[in-house]
Amino acid sequence: MKNLLKLSLVTLFLLAVTSTYAQKFGHIDTQQLVQIMPSMKKAQTSLEAYAKELQEVQGQLEKELQAKWVEYSQKKDSLSEIKLKALEADIQNLQQRMQTNGQVSQQNMQKKQAELMKPIIDKMRATIEAVAKEKGLIYVFDVQPGTPIIYKSNESIDLLPLVKQKLGIQ
């Protein structure tokens, strides 16, 4: 009977706490928000222009390699072994440069994207935080799967010290 009474009291307490705090949570689709922000279109345009520049450099290297292959195939029977080996080395070096350029270009693209997105993300987060504070929210969750909490108020109770104390952990 005591256990039933305790269980009933705990259930009532949890229901009261849940109903009290139910209005303290919010959610948002940050991906949708970022896509409609005016600064996003400008960032996308800049990123596309940067990608085009990187592709032009790669295209020039491809043309150069193609020319070397044509030269090699046309002259392979008429060149001395030393000149043939030198041309083969040129082709291998050019292939290596293309591969390295591709990797560096990809890294540069990622850096540029992060650079362009940082002010957009910062503005989004600051605005979400301001709205959450205005509405008295404790937490704001992003509805995108796998994304963390966007905003956590100082009013939120950290249970770790209380649980540690209850467990006797220093």
The domain segmentation of the chain, as residue ranges, is: 24-167
* Residue type at 149 in one-letter notation: I
CA distance 58 to 142: 39
Structure-token pair, residue 163:
């649980």
pLDDT tens-place string over residues 121-161: 999 899 988 988 888 888 888 888 877 777 777 777 766 78
Q: Hey, which residues does 53 pair with through a beta bridge?
A: none
Residue 161, both tokens: 């010290």
Q: How does pLDDT run across 95-125, given as a tens digit for each residue?
A: 999 999 999 999 999 999 999 999 999 998 9
The pair of three-digit structure tokens given for residue 11, joined into one six-digit string: 């259930």
pLDDT at res. 3: 61
* Residue 152 three-state SS: strand
Stated pTM of the model: 0.65
* Cα distance between residue 120 and residue 40, in whole Å: 7
Report the sign of the C-alpha dihedral through residues 48, 50, 51, 55, in that order: positive
d(CA 46, CA 84): 44
Planar angle of CA 161, 166, 169, nearest 5 degrees: 65
